[in-house]
């Protein structure tokens, strides 16, 4: 046989084919390695973005908790509050508002007009009403205020009969579903019900707190949950979260949502909600083995005490028990300010029987606010400013003490919707997908039954039929995170410049990367990877040194009062949420107005407590300018809204759209 014939049979080309196969394989490996590296870099960027979101979220919560100290300080030093408006004292530190007189005082005078075309509830409620509400809310209908009030009163009546911890039983044939934070994200709740079924006698649920705030549909979620609870009180269980708290709602959006959707009856709804929150159970125990609470535990968690505590006395985490006249621990340092702010003893209408003890209050704070960590021991939760961090040893110790096997909690956003830690003894479940930004995280829920391992179900609500590519999602998440971080930076511009200049001894306008990162962390305290983030925040020279003034490029705070000094503007912007809450508390008639004198007095008190270096004459001048029609009153909500950050990109977009 000739060589030519052998080649025709393919024998001569085998080596060529082998070479080609090898090249294809090498190319595939190169592409695979590139893609893995690309995917890893994207995931790292996503992780950094989530770290920014979480750090700023926890820093805000820390500021919110610090307000509790301010309110105590305010009562000790603000003369007006005792003489002019004792109701504020009762609201902050007294008993819950008197039992709202009678239900009829609220409901009887709220008529449902014939023109109303939303859902109409029939009392006593049935499964049909749950279905009705779900369908109506899918169509973005608003439930009439009369029905909202009726549901709240009915819910409170049933909750008052319940223990602090609900004990539930499962069996191999009867599972229970546990959902974590929903935070006003109605689409997530509807998706859970679509995948898992509506609550019923054979489909039990536990919703583990934080139903409200942040999202746009908190009242809709509350109404679905409360109506389901009223129809199936033995099969739908509600635990209180740290956001079921009227003071938290003032900062995080639910109060605003109610007043916007219910312009006439919103204030009554908020008043009753304030009371309903206090009657929510603080935990659930499944099969005497699994503890379900919103936050976590501490080394001193006493479940026996928590079973006995009068939970309705816990109005707000911002309202710790206050020493009354004659209390042995009423030993507060007094300060003098001016003629309108005087040292006074705290006098409230509350008695010891209307308050939790300090120890009881701390026990409840721990289970609502604490977070697990890998490090052993129990130490202060410095990120949030409340509760503690608890390690695996604390988990084992507390679970063993009460013959429990597992702790299920929520309270923390997790990229995959859930997380298992402490050798499988602690599970975090978070049910609000896209919590920070679309694509930022998945939501999840757990299904449990006696003798079976927990089963996890994940999901992600999307606006389109399929998720955008990973790189687009990461770009959107990262851009949003950098945007809010820049706003945090510009709010501390004066402090940061001072910190930079202390390091810049040669006055070159430049710092090494480590000096810049140190100054950022030391001033902002966000515990962020500043070196990794630097490429998105500042410009550097060829030597890698940072042009530190570029930290503030393309962004500034809008000045509603042009003559005001930058330090004052930054301070008002930085503390605008705190000030809004304080002024809303003082504004007991919900008029949106406070007197110029009240503004001056409160600001000087705030100034002193937070050690802010702003001259009194600046505040006096500002107060005069805020009184636009010179009637002695200030519309503080509108004024504080005027302090906002302007991004260069926003201005370009606006000018582009106006040209179009």
Helix (H) or strand (E) holding 168: strand 165-168
Tokens of 368: 């609502």
Is there a catalytic annotation at residue 411?
A: no
3-state secondary structure (DSSP) of residue 346: coil
Of 222, 256, 224, 272, nearest in space to 110 by CA: 272
Residue the block writes with tokens 């090494």: 512
Give the neighbor-by-neighbor strand order of the sheet with 406-409: 165-168, 283-286, 290-292, 406-409, 426-429, 418-421
d(CA 309, CA 472): 50
Give the DSSP letter string of 74-140: HHHH-HHHHHH-HHHHHHHHSSSS---S-HHHHHTT----TT--S----SSP-HHHHHHHHHHHHTT
Chain Cα centroid distance, residue 140: 24
Q: Is 522:503 a contact under the CB 8 Å cutoff?
A: no
Q: Which of the residues 144, 183, 243, 294 is marked catalytic?
A: 243
Give the neighbor-by-neighbor strand order of the sheet with 236-238: 236-238, 204-207, 176-179, 443-448, 455-459
d(CA 569, CA 646): 13
3-state secondary structure (DSSP) of residue 406: strand
Of 204, 346, 364, nearest in space to 283 by CA: 364
* Torsion, CA 392, CA 397, CA 399, CA 405, rounded to 10: 60
Biggest alpha carbon–alpha carbon distance for the chain: 119
Of 366, 368, 333, nearest in space to 248 by CA: 368
Give the DSSP letter string of 131-166: HHHHHHHHTT----HHHHHHHHHHHHHHHTTS-SEE
Of 602, 618, 614, 636, nearest in space to 338 by CA: 602
Chain Cα centroid distance, residue 658: 36
Q: Which residues are catalytic?
A: 243
């Amino acid at each position: 046989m000739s060589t030519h014939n052998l080649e025709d049979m393919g024998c001569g080309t085998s080596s060529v084919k082998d070479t080609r196969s090898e090249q294809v394989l090498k190319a595939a490996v190169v592409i695979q390695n590139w893609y893995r590296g690309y995917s890893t870099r994207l995931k790292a960027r996503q992780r950094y973005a989530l770290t920014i979101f979480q750090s700023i979220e926890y820093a805000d919560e820390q500021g919110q908790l610090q307000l509790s100290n301010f309110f105590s300080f305010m009562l000790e030093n603000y003369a007006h509050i005792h003489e002019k408006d004792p109701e504020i004292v009762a609201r902050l530190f007294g008993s819950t508002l008197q039992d709202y007189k009678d239900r009829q005082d609220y409901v009887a005078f709220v008529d449902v007009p014939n023109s109303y075309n939303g859902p109409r509830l029939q009392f006593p409620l049935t499964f049909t009403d749950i279905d009705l509400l779900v369908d109506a809310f899918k169509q973005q209908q608003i439930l009439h205020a009369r029905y909202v009030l009726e549901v709240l009163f009915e819910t409170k009546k049933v909750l008052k009969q319940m223990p602090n911890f609900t004990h539930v039983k499962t069996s191999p044939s009867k599972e229970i579903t546990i959902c974590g934070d929903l935070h006003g994200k109605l689409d997530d709740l509807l998706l859970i019900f679509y995948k898992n079924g509506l609550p019923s006698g054979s489909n039990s649920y536990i919703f583990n707190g934080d139903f409200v705030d942040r999202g746009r549909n908190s009242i809709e979620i509350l109404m679905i949950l409360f109506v389901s609870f009223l129809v199936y009180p033995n099969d739908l269980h509600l635990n209180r979260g740290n956001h079921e708290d009227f003071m938290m709602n003032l900062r995080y959006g639910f109060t605003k949502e109610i007043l916007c959707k219910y312009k006439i009856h919103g204030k009554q709804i908020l008043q009753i909600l304030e009371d309903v929150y206090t009657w929510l159970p603080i935990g659930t125990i499944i099969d005497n083995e699994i503890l379900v609470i919103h936050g976590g535990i501490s080394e001193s968690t006493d479940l026996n005490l928590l079973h006995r505590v009068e939970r309705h006395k816990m109005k707000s985490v911002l309202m710790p028990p206050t020493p009354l006249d004659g209390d042995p621990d009423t030993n507060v340092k007094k300060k003098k300010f001016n003629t309108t702010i005087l040292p006074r003893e705290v006098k409230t209408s509350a008695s010891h029987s209307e308050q939790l003890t300090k120890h009881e209050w701390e026990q409840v704070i721990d289970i609502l606010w604490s977070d697990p960590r890998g490090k052993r021991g129990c130490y202060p939760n410095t990120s949030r400013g409340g509760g503690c961090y608890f390690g695996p040893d604390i988990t084992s110790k507390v679970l063993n003490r009460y013959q429990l096997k597992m702790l299920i909690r929520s309270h923390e956003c997790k990229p995959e919707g859930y997380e298992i830690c402490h050798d499988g003894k602690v599970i975090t479940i978070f049910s609000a997908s896209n919590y920070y930004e679309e694509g930022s995280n998945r939501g999840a829920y757990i299904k449990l039954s006696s003798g079976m391992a927990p089963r996890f179900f994940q999901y992600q609500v999307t606006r389109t039929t399929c998720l955008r590519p990973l790189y687009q999602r990461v770009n959107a998440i990262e851009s949003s995170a950098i945007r809010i971080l820049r706003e945090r930076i510009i709010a501390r511009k004066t402090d940061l410049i001072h910190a930079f200049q202390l390091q810049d001894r040669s006055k070159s306008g430049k710092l090494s990367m480590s000096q810049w990162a140190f100054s950022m962390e030391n001033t902002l305290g966000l515990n962020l990877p500043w070196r990794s983030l630097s490429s998105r925040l500042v410009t550097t020279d060829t030597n890698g040194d940072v042009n530190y003034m570029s930290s503030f490029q393309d962004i500034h705070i809008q000045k509603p009062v042009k003559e005001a000094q930058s330090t004052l503007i930054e301070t008002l912007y930085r503390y605008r949420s705190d000030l809004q809450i304080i002024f809303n508390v003082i504004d007991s008639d919900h008029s949106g107005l406070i007197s110029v004198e009240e503004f001056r007095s409160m600001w000087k008190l705030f100034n002193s407590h937070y050690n802010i270096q702003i001259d009194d004459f600046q505040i006096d001048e500002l107060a005069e300018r805020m009184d636009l029609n010179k009637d002695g009153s200030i519309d503080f909500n509108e004024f504080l809204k005027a302090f906002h950050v302007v991004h260069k990109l926003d201005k370009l977009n606006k000018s582009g759209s106006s040209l179009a």
